[in-house]
Chain A
Amino acid sequence: MRARGTTPILGRGIHSGNDGGSDSGSHSEVGNSNSKENGNGSHNDSEVDVVRRNALKLSGLTIAFLWTGTRGTASAAINARRQPGDAAAAVADGNPPFAPNAFVRVDADGSVRLVMPNVEMGQGIYTGACMMLAEELDVGMDQIKVEHAPPNEELYSMPLLGGQITGGSTSTRGHWGVLREAGAVARSMLVAAAAERWHVDPATCTVSRGVVTHQSSKRSLGFGALAKSAGALPTPAKVTLKDPKAFALIGKPLRRVDSADKVKGATQFGIDVHVPGMKIATVKACPTFGGRLVGINDKRTRAIPGVIAVIQLDSAVAVVGEHFWAAKQGLEALDIEWDLGDNATLSTAKLREALADKSQSGTPIVAREAGKKPTDGKLVEAVYQSPMLAHATMEPLNTTVWVTADKCQIWVGTQVPTRCVAVAAKITGLPEDKIELHNQYLGGGFGRRLETDSVEQAVNLAKQVSYPIKVIWTREEDIRHDIVRPMYYDRISALLDSNGRPIWYGDRVTGGTVLGRWAPMAMEKNGLDSDAVECVAEVPYDIPNLKVEWVRHDMPEGLIVGWWRGVGPTHNLFVVESFMDELAHTAGKDPLEYRRALLQKNPRSLALLNLAAEKIGWSSKPLPARVGRGIALGEPFGSRVCVIVEAEVTPQGEVLLRRAVVALDCGIAINPSSVEAQVQGGLVFGLSAALYSGITVKHGAIEQSNFHDYRSLRINETPLIELHCIASDQPPGGLGEVGTAIAAPALGNAIFAATGVRLRSLPVDRASLVQNSEALKTVVAENVGGEETGQGARVSRGELA
């Protein structure tokens, strides 16, 4: 998922516009964020053209109106100051004496509670958001209590997405301004309360660790003692944000706020919720896309001890038990008759064929066209294919619901709390204010929890019983009924001049649209899905002429495609960066030198390329046989990244990841530890997918079912991943999806360097990498990198020195 607008806008201008005046290094005064313009021009990007400059002037509110979520009403961007609805929210949240906005609560005992507008699914946003708030509030991180936000579009909408949505690597980018401002507003009011009580100038007061002090008279008061009087003061029209040089928290590698509980098993995820009287259900939906339930025979099921009920839905059946085991045993004992529907003969081969046909026969929508295609030059063409992908979050989908006559309570870890409320209201017929949603920690999201299908199903089940039920999907159900990343078919081509330099490139992306279903109002007027062409419509390189098109190819009804960590860029960067290597090879040039020549007008990305090359020691010494290095460079999600993967391909075709070096420019790194974690984790996620993941279809159903046939990278396969971050005073870029998006092309290019085999489809076809038939007579090494094999695939830190 991406935020609204063209790529260069994202993370460059559309935050709340109060980025601390980092260029001037001065304090910055900010006013009410509803009334000011965004994109305040602190970004001196020589590449920004006039159209983009105009676009940068759009306010977050305008953007929000462009993308309004599914409920048909435009959402206001969140505000650092009081908003309508704040008072009611604070009352519902323990009625603290001081609640200057939606994010800060100070209780009479001095407790500082911070309400998190985004959800925590591993990306570290609770920590980052706390750092932004605490920095300006002048409290210690150890003094904060963190709270999940309730569903409330007015108070907690993501300005970049126009809804209470966590996704698209937007959380830090979208809240960088507003959360610091919210902290500063609160601090300013607490200081004003102290100054009023002491009859001194507020400017003579200081704040440290939640205590306001008047130095010259040596008087001090804690936030708790000031809370009530601060709560009676008017909200300041302007506050002063800290000079970045004075940051005490931002920029420091601080421990996550959720670590302490997570290492003790004390964190409550959705699946851990316990409601008194609750029963456990597990469910089986029709295996085929769009198939329906005809009937069941539950005689054997009802004989199983602990089975309480069997509930039928249009296309699924659930068994409720005293515990999960009874429910699961009961489900397995059911005789179920399905109507497999129109897709009963659907296969991956048919889907691929239809996609390829559509690429030829479909009507393309031009995403971007510049210059004119020259009449001469050396033509290079390639077709790339990307598979459907499942999310496989470690926590299988689950929802706990209790429907009573006058309300519906839901406990779930979701990236879209307000969408869950909306669907529950529709299903139960209750008004939205009678739907209570209690958000939980998410055991992984990756875009899967941007959907409400499992919540809708659970509400449909719960309204048929009188007690609360926790519906838990098995892993098999979770994979077979994932809302998968679309498959794509790309025809890319380029014309090279006599020096081998591209003078034109063209790409025709063909695939389904996620945006068209999930947020149809965010589609371009000409029908373009901007996500589908992100990172190919704009590339970092200086190529004068180009034409990028998209052909929409909807999947058969019932096969729903969804957001998957890094969606558009993940597939487009694989195509573009693999193809860049193909062009370098055609031109007889080193892939590093080839890219360098094309980056002369893009110093920020050139610096990353050079840094990564230097750190890995590019071409400093020859590599062993069947070991290769692959470069990939991109500018996804408002950040810039270059990764070089070093891989070894065994004679039997196994790929051993030896090392990955990442150079990153993500603007200001709020928490460098989180940045490192996101880059490492994102790369592992992307490398997993590239090496092993592909959802395939047979007889109208997903073939994969669990981690044995939907593999994920394990620790013994994971290389050392080094991150080198460029220090920056630019506003923060997105991070959650950057590592994932850049992984596959670096791997593919490393495999090409190691073997000469160019991989134009994913996942990696290991059979194509077998050295020769003799190699297969040798037993494949069992333990990658283990001492016993002597292969030493992983490079240890000692060897790097």
Chain B
Amino acid sequence: MFVLHVNGEQRAVDVPADMPLLWVLRDIVGLTGTKFGCGVAQCGACTVHLDGQAVRSCVLPVSAVGDKAITTIEAVGKTPSGHKIQQAWLDVDVVQCGYCQSGQIMSAAALLARTSSPTDADIDAAMSGNICRCGTYVRIRAAIKQAATGKSDALQTIAPGAAGAP
């Protein structure tokens, strides 16, 4: 039995000690925003925060989490950097299929929390562990800069659009 601190709530889970945090979150806690992409920390789709640090939950045994605070995509918007990143993601309209974007946003939010004005090299270092097969990288870079500076770095302005997707 492990007691996890997930998004500000305590969750007791009865799972094997070697079970990766990813599957605890998805299959036991029921938070499916964190995604399975590779299972070997190659793609970053499973990125969550442990005490604000970006980690790959697909290779993190639940027994290694301890009492560290887990933040997932579902709650990162409550952090200042997470909120800024999500807003910039909307303003630049980064997402395509969106499957990797939970992980992208978690990596970017952790970057912004520790580096308020990231350079291109900072972005490369923080984001190169996150693969996007749709190829949204140009907009990811623009959105991180926009979140940092508040100034539009997008190639074009995206007008707010619809709500109410299934």
A324 interface residue (CB < 8 Å to B)? yes
A105-157 CB contacts (< 8 Å) to partner B: 120-124, 126-127, 130, 140-148
Residue of B96, B137, B165 most packed against chain A (CB within 10 A): B165
A261 interface residue (CB < 8 Å to B)? yes
Q: Complex Cα distance A122/B134, Å?
A: 7
Contact flag A685-B133 (CB < 8 Å), given A255-B158, A475-B39: yes
A695 interface residue (CB < 8 Å to B)? no
- Which residues of chain B are near A253, meaning CB under 8 Å? 156-159
Stretch at the interface among A511-519, A592-600, A709-717: A709-717
Contact flag A265-B74 (CB < 8 Å), given A257-B164, A325-B27, A718-B135: yes
- Which residues of chain B are near A722, meaning CB under 8 Å? 155
Q: Which residue of B lies closest to A444 (CB)?
A: B97
> Is the beta-carbon distance between B100 and A394 smaller than 8 angstroms?
yes
> Is the beta-carbon distance between B121 and A264 smaller than 8 angstroms?
no
A393 interface residue (CB < 8 Å to B)? yes
Q: Which residue of A lies closest to B107 (CB)?
A: A715
> Is the beta-carbon distance between A785 and B165 smaller than 8 angstroms?
no
A462 CB to nearest B CB, Å: 18
B99 interface residue (CB < 8 Å to A)? yes
A261-297 CB contacts (< 8 Å) to partner B: 261-269, 271-272, 274, 280
> Is the beta-carbon distance between A475 and B37 smaller than 8 angstroms?
yes
B50 interface residue (CB < 8 Å to A)? no
Q: Which residue of A lies closest to B153 (CB)?
A: A797
- Which residues of chain A are near B97, meaning CB under 8 Å? 120-122, 393-395, 441-445
Contacting residue for A260 out of B33, B131, B134, B165, CB 8 A? B165
Contacting residue for A718 out of B95, B99, B137, CB 8 A? B137
> Is the beta-carbon distance between B32 and A272 smaller than 8 angstroms?
yes
B9 CB to nearest A CB, Å: 16
> Is the beta-carbon distance between A394 and B139 smaller than 8 angstroms?
no
Q: Which residue of A lies closest to B27 (CB)?
A: A323
Quick one: CB contact mask for B114-158 with A, threshold 8 Å, 1 for yes? 000001110111011111111111111100000000000101111
> Is the beta-carbon distance between A256 and B161 smaller than 8 angstroms?
yes
B160 interface residue (CB < 8 Å to A)? yes
Q: Complex Cα distance A267/B35, Å?
A: 11
Q: Complex Cα distance A326/B140, Å?
A: 35
State the main secondary structure of chain B at its contact with A. loop
A368 interface residue (CB < 8 Å to B)? no
Q: Which residue of B lies closest to A660 (CB)?
A: B138
> Is the beta-carbon distance between B164 and A144 smaller than 8 angstroms?
yes
> Is the beta-carbon distance between A325 and B161 smaller than 8 angstroms?
no
A446 interface residue (CB < 8 Å to B)? yes
Stretch at the interface among A29-37, A62-70, A481-489, A673-681: A673-681
> Is the beta-carbon distance between A444 and B134 smaller than 8 angstroms?
yes
> Is the beta-carbon distance between A146 and B158 smaller than 8 angstroms?
no
> Is the beta-carbon distance between B135 and A713 smaller than 8 angstroms?
yes
Stretch at the interface among A207-215, A344-352, A786-794: A786-794
Q: Complex Cα distance A120/B19, Å?
A: 32
Q: Complex Cα distance A373/B162, Å?
A: 57
B38 interface residue (CB < 8 Å to A)? yes
> Is the beta-carbon distance between B135 and A681 smaller than 8 angstroms?
yes
- Which residues of chain B are near A393, meaning CB under 8 Å? 97, 99, 133
> Is the beta-carbon distance between B162 and A144 smaller than 8 angstroms?
yes
> Is the beta-carbon distance between A261 and B105 smaller than 8 angstroms?
no
> Is the beta-carbon distance between A271 and B36 smaller than 8 angstroms?
yes
Q: Which residue of B lies closest to A255 (CB)?
A: B161
> Is the beta-carbon distance between A260 and B37 smaller than 8 angstroms?
no
Q: Which residue of B lies closest to A121 (CB)?
A: B97
Q: Complex Cα distance A91/B74, Å?
A: 34
Quick one: CB contact mask for B12-52 with A, threshold 8 Å, 1 for yes? 00011001100100111011111111111011010000000
Q: Complex Cα distance A393/B16, Å?
A: 29
- Which residues of chain B are near A252, meaning CB under 8 Å? 159
- Which residues of chain B are near A681, meaning CB under 8 Å? 96, 134-136
> Is the beta-carbon distance between A673 and B158 smaller than 8 angstroms?
yes
> Is the beta-carbon distance between A475 and B127 smaller than 8 angstroms?
no
> Is the beta-carbon distance between B23 and A443 smaller than 8 angstroms?
no
> Is the beta-carbon distance between A715 and B164 smaller than 8 angstroms?
no
> Is the beta-carbon distance between B36 and A444 smaller than 8 angstroms?
no
- Which residues of chain A are near B121, meaning CB under 8 Å? 783, 785-788
> Is the beta-carbon distance between B93 and A673 smaller than 8 angstroms?
yes
Q: Complex Cα distance A127/B97, Å?
A: 12
B interface bracket (residues with beta carbon within 8 Å of A): 35 or more
> Is the beta-carbon distance between A141 and B161 smaller than 8 angstroms?
yes
> Is the beta-carbon distance between B95 and A258 smaller than 8 angstroms?
yes
B37-69 CB contacts (< 8 Å) to partner A: 37-40, 42-43, 45
Quick one: CB contact mask for A726-750 with B, threshold 8 Å, 1 for yes? 0000000000000000000000000
Q: Which residue of B lies closest to A712 (CB)?
A: B131
Q: Which residue of B lies closest to A681 (CB)?
A: B135
Q: Which residue of A lies closest to B28 (CB)?
A: A323
Q: Which residue of B lies closest to A470 (CB)?
A: B27
> Is the beta-carbon distance between A305 and B16 smaller than 8 angstroms?
yes
Q: Complex Cα distance A720/B86, Å?
A: 22
> Is the beta-carbon distance between B159 and A254 smaller than 8 angstroms?
yes
B102 interface residue (CB < 8 Å to A)? yes
A769-795 CB contacts (< 8 Å) to partner B: 783-788, 794
Contact flag A265-B156 (CB < 8 Å), given A474-B39, A707-B131: no
Q: Which residue of B lies closest to A261 (CB)?
A: B165
Contact flag A684-B135 (CB < 8 Å), given A142-B160, A676-B155: yes
Q: Which residue of B lies closest to A273 (CB)?
A: B32
> Is the beta-carbon distance between A715 and B123 smaller than 8 angstroms?
yes
A383 interface residue (CB < 8 Å to B)? no
B8 interface residue (CB < 8 Å to A)? no
Q: Complex Cα distance A476/B35, Å?
A: 16
Q: Complex Cα distance A720/B154, Å?
A: 12
Contacting residue for B128 out of A148, A260, A326, A715, CB 8 A? A715
> Is the beta-carbon distance between A146 and B27 smaller than 8 angstroms?
no
Q: Complex Cα distance A360/B139, Å?
A: 47
B120 CB to nearest A CB, Å: 7
Q: Complex Cα distance A324/B39, Å?
A: 11
Q: Complex Cα distance A272/B102, Å?
A: 13
A723 interface residue (CB < 8 Å to B)? yes
- Which residues of chain A are near B23, meaning CB under 8 Å? 323-325
For the A-B complex with A263-B94, A714-B127, A721-B138 known, give 5 more contacts whose Cβ atoms are closer than 8 Å.
A120-B97, A146-B165, A395-B35, A475-B37, A720-B138
Instruction: State the 6 A-B residue pairs at the shortest beta-carbon distance, nearest first.
Output: A265-B33, A684-B135, A122-B97, A443-B99, A265-B73, A262-B98
Q: What is the interface of chain B, defined by CB distance below 8 A to chain A?
A: 15-16, 19-20, 23, 26-28, 30-40, 42-43, 45, 72-74, 77, 86, 89-90, 93-102, 105, 119-121, 123-125, 127-141, 153, 155-166
Q: What is the interface of chain A, defined by CB distance below 8 A to chain B?
A: 120-124, 126-127, 130, 140-148, 252-269, 271-272, 274, 280, 305-306, 322-326, 329, 392-396, 441-446, 472, 474-476, 672-673, 676-677, 680-685, 688, 706-708, 712-716, 718, 720-723, 783-788, 794, 796-797
> What are 16 contact pairs spanning A and B, CB under 8 A?
A120-B97, A141-B162, A142-B161, A264-B33, A264-B77, A271-B32, A323-B15, A325-B20, A394-B133, A443-B100, A474-B39, A475-B40, A673-B93, A707-B38, A712-B133, A718-B137
